[in-house]
Structure 1
Amino acid sequence: MLRNAILTLLALVIAVGGGAYLAWYTLEQQEGVGAVAMGQWVTFPDLGTAEADPYTKARAARRGALALGRTEGTVFIAQHDDSGAPLRRQCTYTIVGATPAARFWTLFAADGAFNPLRSENDRLSALHSLELLRQPDNTVAISLGAQAMPGNWLPISGQGPLNLVLTLYDSPGAGTIEENSLPMPIIRKAGCNA
C-alpha cells in the first residue's frame, strides 16, 4: 500500500514538474507555435488578433508585451546573427539591408528578459526610422556596440544575451506575413570583446 502511494506521488511529481518545465520551455522559445521566421527575425503575426494561439498569448502576457492588431503594428525579434550564433552584448554587430515598408518603425536592444538596455551614459539603446541616415539605395546600415561609431549607432554595453526588437507600425505587408515574405535586414557580427 505504501509502495503504491509512493509510486503515485512520484508519478504526480514527474507529471506536474515535467508539464511545468515544458510550458516554461515553450514560452521561452522564439521559434515555435505561431512563429514566422524571416532570416534572423521572428514574429508572431497573429498576436493581438482573435486567431492567436494560447502559447502566443501567454508569451506576450508573460513579457508584458503590448499586443497590437495585425495592421497596427508587428514586432520582430532577433536573437541570432547571420551565422546562427546567439547575439551577445559584449560583441559589435552591423545591421544592413532593406527594412519592410512601414509608416514608422523602432529598433531597440534588450537583455535576455526583454528589458530595454541603456548605454553607459544612460542613453536608451533605441533608434527609429525618422532619425536614420539611409544609404543611396534606401537601405540601412546600423552599428551596434559599446564604442561610438559614425553613422547610425545603437549603443549596447555589458555582458550577456542580447535581443533586438524591431516594431513596424502601420505596415502594408503586415496583414499577409508568411515565411520570408518581407525584406528584413541582416545582422552581421563585427567582433567580440570577450
Structure 2
Amino acid sequence: MLKNALLTLLSLAIAIGLGGGSVWYTLDAQSGAGAIRIGPWTAFPDIGTLDADPYSQARVARQGALTLGRAEGLSFIAETDSRGEDLLRECSYTIEGGFPTARFWTLYVADQALDPIASGRPHRAVLHSHEILRQPDNSSVITVAPNAAPGNWLPISGSGPLRFVMNFYDTPIAASTGLSDVKLPTIVRTGCNG
C-alpha cells in the first residue's frame, strides 16, 4: 500500500514538474504559435488583439506588459544574431540595414524578461528614429558595444544574454498583408571581450 502511494506521488511530481517546465519554456521562447520570423527578428502580430493565441496571452499576463494593438504598431525581438548565435552582453554587434516605414520607431537592449538593460553610463541604451544618423541610401549602421563608437551607438555593459527590441509605431507593416515583404536590419557580431 505504501509502495503504491509513493509511486503515485512520484508520478504526480514528475507530471507536474515536466508540465510546468514545458509551459515555462514555451512562454519564454520567441517562437511558436502566431510568430512571424524575419531574419533574426521575431514578432507576434496578433499579441495585442483578440485573435492572440493562448500562449501569447499567457506571456503578456506573466510579463505584465502593455502590448501594441494591430493599429498601434508592432514589436520585433531578436535573441540571436543573423548567423544564429546567441546575443551576449560581452560582445559587440553591428545592426545594419533599412527600417520599415513607420511614424516612429525605437530600438533598445533588453534582458531575458525584456526589461531595458542599464548601460552603466549616462547615455541611455535606446535609440529612436528621430535621432538616428542615416546613410545616403537611408539605411543605418548602429554599433552596440561597451565602448563608445562613432555614429549610432547603443552602450551595453555586464555579461550574460541580451535581446534587441525594435518597436514600430503607426506603421503599415502591422497590417496582416504588410509582413510578407518587410526587410529588417541584419545583426552581425563584430567581436567579444575575453
Q: Verify same fold: TM over 0.5.
A: yes
What TM bracket, shorter-length normalisation? over 0.9
1:146: how far off?
0.9
- How far apart, CA to CA, are the structure 2 residues paired with 1:177 and 1:96? 25
1:179: how far off?
6.7
Specify the code of the residue in structure 2 equivalent to 1:87.
L
- How far apart, CA to CA, are the structure 1 residues paired with 2:10 and 2:179? 43
Contact 1:78 1:165 in 2 (8 A): yes
Contact 2:172 2:178 in 1 (8 A): no
Give % identity: 53
Tell whether 2:78 aligns with 1:74.
no
Question: CA offsets, 1:102-153, max 9 Å, x none?
Answer: 1100000012232211222243200000100111111111011011111111
Change in CA separation of 1:50 and 1:174 when aligned onto 2, cut-off 3 Å: same
Structure 2 equivalent of residue 115 of structure 1:
115
What is the DSSP-based 3-state SS (H/G/I as helix, E as strand, rest coil) of the residue aligned with 2:190? strand
Q: Which moved more, 1:47-56 or 1:64-73?
A: 64-73
Matched pairs, number: 194
1:63: how far off?
2.0
What is the DSSP-based 3-state SS (H/G/I as helix, E as strand, rest coil) of the residue aligned with 2:61? helix
- How far apart, CA to CA, are the structure 1 residues paired with 2:120 and 2:189? 21
Contact 2:87 2:162 in 1 (8 A): yes
1:178: how far off?
7.4
Tell whether 2:89 aligns with 1:89.
yes
- For the aligned residue pairs, the C-alpha RMSD in angstroms reads 1.4
Specify the code of the residue in structure 1 equivalent to 2:156.
I
Specify the code of the residue in structure 2 equivalent to 1:166.
M
Specify the code of the residue in structure 2 equivalent to 1:79.
E
Contact 1:38 1:181 in 2 (8 A): no
Question: CA offsets, 1:32-78, max 9 Å, x none?
Answer: 12211100000111011010011011112222221111120211000
Runs of 4+ residues over 3 Å off in structure 1 = 177-181
What is the DSSP-based 3-state SS (H/G/I as helix, E as strand, rest coil) of the residue aligned with 1:55? helix
TM-score where L is the length of structure 1? 0.95
Question: CA offsets, 1:136-174, max 9 Å, x none?
Answer: 111111011011111111111111111000000001121
Specify the code of the residue in structure 2 equivalent to 1:128.
H
What is the DSSP-based 3-state SS (H/G/I as helix, E as strand, rest coil) of the residue aligned with 2:160? coil
Change in CA separation of 1:177 and 1:87 when aligned onto 2, cut-off 3 Å: farther
TM-score where L is the length of structure 2? 0.95
